[in-house]
Amino acid sequence: MDLDFRTWAKGMLGKHTLDAGFGQFFDILAWVCWKRGVYFGKVDYRYTSQICPNCGINTGKKDLSERIHKCPECHYEINRDVSAAQVICQRGITAVGQIVLENDCVGGLSGVYNNLDKCFGSSKPKL
């Protein structure tokens, strides 16, 4: 996910947003992930509330007041925010799969497969 902090700076908080150091957030997050041996990557965050996580069809633009995702094709219904999170997770899994194929000789990506269980609601205990 890539957040555009420049748009936040134009908002109500303006310069305070930039002063808070949000621009370094991803650098710090990437470093912490590297330090702990966990893979960190960015995915495209756009149109996540318009894509059905079940069948992948574009369901079109929704009003902010519409809180439930309802797919006209597969009839999948879920909270809109949960749906968007599932789409982001699927994009991340796809991106990791491409990286693993490209860097197959590197020896894998430590920490990736352990964290993918969170996307699918696994009830494994946290170690």
CA distance 90 to 120: 10
Q: Residue 91: what pLDDT?
A: 92
The pLDDT-based confidence of 48 (bands split at 50, 70, 90) is very high
Determine the pLDDT at residue 109. Answer: 47
Tally of domains within the chain: 2
Q: In terms of residue numbers, what domain contains 6?
A: 1-36
* 23 and 74 both lie in a single domain: no
CA distance 116 to 89: 8
Nearest Cα neighbor of 43 from 13, 103, 101, 84 is 84
Helix (H) or strand (E) holding 77: strand 77-79
Give yes or no: residues 15 and 53 share one domain: no
Beta bridge partners of 69: 78
The CA angle 26-52-63, to the nearest 5 degrees, is 80
The pLDDT value given to residue 26: 79
- The residue that leads in pLDDT, 123 or 82, is 82
Rounded to whole angstroms, how far apart are CA atoms 42 and 95? Answer: 9
85 and 125 fall within a common domain: yes
